[in-house]
Structures are given as C-alpha cells and as structure tokens.
C-alpha cells in the first residue's frame, strides 16, 4: 500500500511537471491599429465614451501611457511596419508611404508590385504585396514558430494597412476598392466564397444611404471647435463641411471614395473582421491565430477636418461603440481570457495651422512642389545646372545623380543647404550622410538617424519649426518628430495581461518583442525593441 501511494505521488509529480512545461498561448491575437489616433484622444473624449470600449480597455487592460515613435517620418506605412516588425526604416526599407527610387528614376509606392494581379475587382488597386519590406513581422514569426499551422489575416481599407502588418507569409490580406474587399495574386488566385458573399451585400452603399449626423446632440461636443470652418476640407462629392453630411446625395461616381471619410467605414471594417473570424475559424485552431485590423477612416477624417473638429470627435465616439461591440463579439466567439488584444496607432496628427493661428499659436504650411521649383531655379541661376533635383518628399531632397558630377554635386548640396536655411520655418538642413555630426537635440537626432536608409532615403534632410508641415491650406497631416505626431496610445487587453498603467517611456518598436515573449516565439529578424515586462509579469 505504501509503495502504491509512493508510485501514485511520483506519477502526479511527473504529470505536474509535464503540464507546467507545456507552452501556454492564447487562441487568437488581435492587433488593432487606429490610423492617426493621437494618444490624448483616450482622455479628451473620455467623458462621452461608453463603458465597453476605450474605458474597458483602460480599466481592465494595461496602458503604456508614454509610448513614442522612435523614427522619422511618422507616416502610415512606416508606422504599421514598425508595430509589427519591432524595427526601423533604416532596417526595414519602408522609409515612407512613398520614396524616390534612383535606379528606377521615379517615385515608388510602399506596397506596389507589378508582378501580381488584382483579385476581386478589375482595377489595378490589387497590384500590391509586401515585397518592398525587407524584414519579417511578428505575424511571420508566428507562422514560422508553428510550422505554418497558425492562420494570419490582415484587414484594412488601406492596402498598406493590411499588407505590411500581415507580413510575407500571411494566409491573406484584404483591402478596400470601390466598395469591395479585394486582394492580390500574391495571396490567392480567387476570393474565398465568404468574401464574395460579403461583397455581394454592398454594405458600403447601405451605409451611404443615410446621412452622417452627430451621434449625440451637437451641443454636447464641447471638446471641438465650431462646425463651419474655412480650413476644413469637404468629403468628396459634398460642398459643405457642416453637419449633417448628406451622404445619400453624393453622386454615385464619388460614393465609394467618399465612404472612406465617414465613421461608417470603421464599422464596415469591423463587420468584415467578424466575417473573417467566423468563416476562417480564427481562434478555433490547434495553435494561435493572428488577425491584424487597421481602422483607416479615422485618418481620412482627421486629414480632412483636423483634430479639433466635431467630425473627429464624433468619429471617435462611434469608434468607441464599434470597439465595445467587437470586444463583446470576441468574448462570445473566442472566449473571455482566450484572446490577446492590443490597440495602438501608426502616428498622430498636427492641429490645422489655421486653427492654431486663430488662437495666436504659431504654425504654418509650405508646399513641396513650390520648394523644389525654387531650388531648381536657384541651381540653374547660380550654377547653370538643369534638373539637379529629382524631387522633394518626406522632408528630404533627392538629387538627380545622372545630371551631376562628383564635383558639382558638392556645390549643389551647399547651395540647397544655404537656400533652405534661409526659410523662416526651417530650423536645420544637413546631408543625410552627416547626420551623426549635426548639432540637434534628442530625440529628434536619434529619430532622424533611425529613419535614414542609404538605399531609399534622400540626400539632404531638413527639420522645421513645431506646428509647421508640408501640406495644403485645408485640413492637416503628420510626419514629424513632435509629440502630436509621435505620441501614440498602446493598450493591452485579455490573455495574461495584468491590469494597470505605466508612465515609463516605451517605444513602438517594443510592441512586437512583447508579443514574441508572451507567445514564446522568436522576435522578428530586424527587431530592435525591448520586451515591456510589466504588461504580463
């Protein structure tokens, strides 16, 4: 009897070691990137949020309150890449939404790929892939780490918001084109039946058949400026910038494009995400699956109307409801505690300069084309060299090497630096090869270094005064080092997440290695970030 008890105890001990040695992972990871979401939106509109969206994430999850972007420029493609690679433009090759390729002598779009074809429509909008991305993503590493048993799907209105997070080895990435969800032959030759069925509903038209009124009485929007402002842009097909936005009256030729600049496009994205979970049986696998979702409509609305607009406030109040509904859906389908969810942004946004000027705050704009023309004219006038500049983009000047010798290239650079230095809105000008020696404060200097890629960046870079940017007179944009562009939300929720918050500074590059640590898989191969241990420890 004693021997039997000893044997049973030994067996139970061995079993306990075996169970404890098993790798514990969530059934599903969901990454939500809210395009152009400034960190302060978490609190700016907090009084009007419900309890199931942002407040639930803040109350039951973990918030890294001081999460920053560690590179320049702070654009959509670079942000989505950094979140899912833990890496920098200097390593990933994604240095902007666009960049100038000197070998091709033209501008290149971040996800363009002429070797693939559109699947799901007759346009060229599907000729896209992750081919320009040089490194792996955390989603790639999950596929590798499970010997490709995990399913990975990326979803966003914007192609770059779907493709870059999903990585190279994804099962699928879907993006928006003229009312439909499409993909490319990089992933598949035909859309799955469930996607065709979803597209057949033409939900974009359904949503556009109603006006966009404010969710609450308009006098409740005390965090926003007046509704009728001359520095706001209109939705395509509309002539007015005020509520209610008469979406049903927008001409058919503009309807699907206009849809992207409405909060209903976010709901539409979540509709499709739910369909993907259901039809692809995400979270029902024997291993962890990964769904990446990017909400692009917040960026379109932000660009058109600005951070202080009623449209922006209403978009976030509606997004709060969408997130609450989506979390509830995950609770029911995957199970509370069975999924890991994180929310972040690819960048923030500047206030509209004209709005700041109304309140005596310095700000302004300039035009890249005008700047390039002025530089060209100065070079022709003083050096007699034609077409010395290829383009000005990403706050950089690309020289036309074919028209320059080694000797006159130096003279051209000196003249460009001198000319740009005389601009009242420009603080510093330098060649990208001399970044290390430039006198510039942190974090601006390190962000500039992290963003420089010798194969894809320009020859000369310039920094500008806070509140200024390259853009038009209406609406706003982003792309710079300033906190309004680089301070982003980072919320963790669900599986193994310890509720709380931290004001310790962390970076966008830290997101992927934290997920890797939680899932016990390898970090992406270009990762430079560090694990945020307090999220789950």
Quote the distance between the C-alpha of residue 72 and its chain's center: 14
Catalytic site includes residue 476:
no
Contact (CB, 8 A) for 264 and 235: no
Residue 133: CA atoms inside 13 Å, Cβ hemisphere, count? 30
Which of 266, 211, 264 is closest to 238 using CA atoms?
Answer: 211
Q: Could you write out the DSSP letters of every residue in 114-128? A: TTS-EESSSSSTT-B
520 CB burial (10 A radius; 0-12, 13-18, 19+): exposed
Distance CA 372, CA 391 (A): 7
Bridge-based pairing state of the strands 28-34 and 364-366: unpaired
Contact (CB, 8 A) for 292 and 161: no
Distance CA 54, CA 323 (A): 7
**What SS3 class is residue 78?**
helix
Distance CA 404, CA 387 (A): 9
Candidate list 67, 74, 76, 225, residue with the active-site label:
76
**What SS3 class is residue 108?**
strand
* Helices 76-85 and 159-166, packing angle to 10 deg: 20
CA 328 vs CA 51, 90, 146, 225: distances in Å: 12, 39, 28, 33
Quote the distance between the C-alpha of residue 392 and its chain's center: 23
Which of 392, 470, 370 is closest to 425 using CA atoms?
Answer: 470
284 CB burial (10 A radius; 0-12, 13-18, 19+): middle
Distance CA 90, CA 449 (A): 8
The CA-CA-CA angle for residues 502, 505, 511, to 5°, reads: 85
452 CB burial (10 A radius; 0-12, 13-18, 19+): buried
Q: How many CB atoms lie within 10 A of CB 223?
A: 16
**For the CA atoms of 153, 159, 165, 171, what is the dihedral angle to 10 degrees?**
30
**For the CA atoms of 430, 435, 438, 442, what is the dihedral angle to 10 degrees?**
120
Which of 98, 33, 174, 23 is closest to 512 using CA atoms?
Answer: 33
Distance CA 267, CA 492 (A): 21
Catalytic residues: 76
């Amino acid at each position: 009897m004693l021997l039997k008890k000893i044997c049973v105890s030994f067996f139970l001990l061995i079993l306990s070691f075996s169970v404890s040695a098993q790798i514990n992972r969530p059934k599903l990871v969901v990454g939500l990137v809210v395009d152009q979401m400034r960190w302060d939106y978490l609190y700016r509109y907090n009084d009007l949020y419900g309890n199931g969206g942002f407040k639930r994430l803040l109350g039951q999850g973990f918030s890294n309150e001081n999460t920053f972007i560690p590179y320049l420029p702070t654009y959509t493609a670079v942000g989505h890449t950094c979140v899912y690679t833990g890496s920098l433009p200097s390593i990933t090759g994604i240095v902007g939404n666009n960049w100038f390729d000197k070998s091709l002598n033209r501008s290149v779009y971040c996800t363009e790929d002429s070797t693939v074809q559109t699947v799901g429509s007759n346009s060229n909008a599907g000729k896209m892939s992750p081919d320009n991305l040089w490194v792996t993503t955390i989603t790639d590493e999950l596929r590798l780490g499970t010997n490709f048993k995990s399913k990975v799907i990326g979803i966003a209105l914007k192609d770059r918001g779907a493709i870059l997070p999903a990585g190279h080895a994804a099962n699928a990435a879907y993006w928006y084109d003229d009312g439909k969800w499409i993909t490319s032959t990089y992933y598949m030759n035909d859309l799955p039946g469930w996607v065709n069925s979803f597209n057949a509903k033409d939900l974009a038209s359904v949503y556009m058949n109603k006006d966009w009124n404010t969710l609450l009485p308009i006098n409740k929007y005390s965090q926003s400026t007046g509704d009728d402002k001359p520095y706001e842009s209109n939705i395509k097909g509309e002539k007015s910038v005020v509520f209610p936005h008469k979406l049903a009256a927008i001409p058919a030729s503009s309807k699907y494009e206009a849809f992207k600049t409405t909060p209903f496009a976010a709901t539409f994205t979540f509709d499709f995400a739910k369909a993907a979970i259901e039809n692809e049986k995400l979270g029902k696998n024997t291993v962890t699956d990964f769904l990446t979702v990017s909400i692009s409509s917040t960026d379109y609305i932000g660009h058109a109307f600005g951070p202080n607009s009623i449209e922006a406030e209403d978009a976030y109040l509606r997004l709060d409801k969408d997130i609450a509904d989506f979390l509830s859906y995950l609770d029911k389908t995957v199970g509370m505690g069975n999924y890991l969810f994180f929310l972040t942004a690819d960048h923030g946004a500047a206030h509209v300069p004209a709005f700041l000027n109304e309140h005596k705050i310095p700000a302004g704009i300039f035009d890249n084309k005008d700047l390039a023309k002025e530089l060209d004219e100065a070079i022709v006038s003083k050096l007699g060299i034609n077409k010395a500049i290829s383009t000005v983009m990403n706050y950089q000047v690309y020289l036309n090497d074919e028209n320059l010798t080694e000797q006159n290239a130096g003279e051209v650079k000196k003249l460009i630096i001198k000319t740009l230095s005389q601009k009242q809105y420009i603080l510093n000008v330098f060649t990208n090869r001399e970044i290390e020696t430039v006198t510039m404060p942190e974090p601006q200097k390190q962000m500039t270094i992290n963003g420089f890629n010798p194969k894809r960046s320009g020859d000369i870079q310039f920094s500008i005064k806070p509140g200024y940017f390259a853009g038009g007179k209406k609406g706003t944009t982003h792309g710079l080092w300033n906190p309004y562009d680089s301070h982003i939300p980072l919320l963790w929720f669900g599986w193994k997440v310890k509720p709380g918050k931290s004001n310790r500074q962390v970076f966008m590059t830290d997101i992927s290695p934290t997920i890797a640590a939680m899932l016990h898989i390898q970090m992406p191969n270009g990762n430079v970030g560090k694990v945020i241990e307090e999220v789950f420890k």
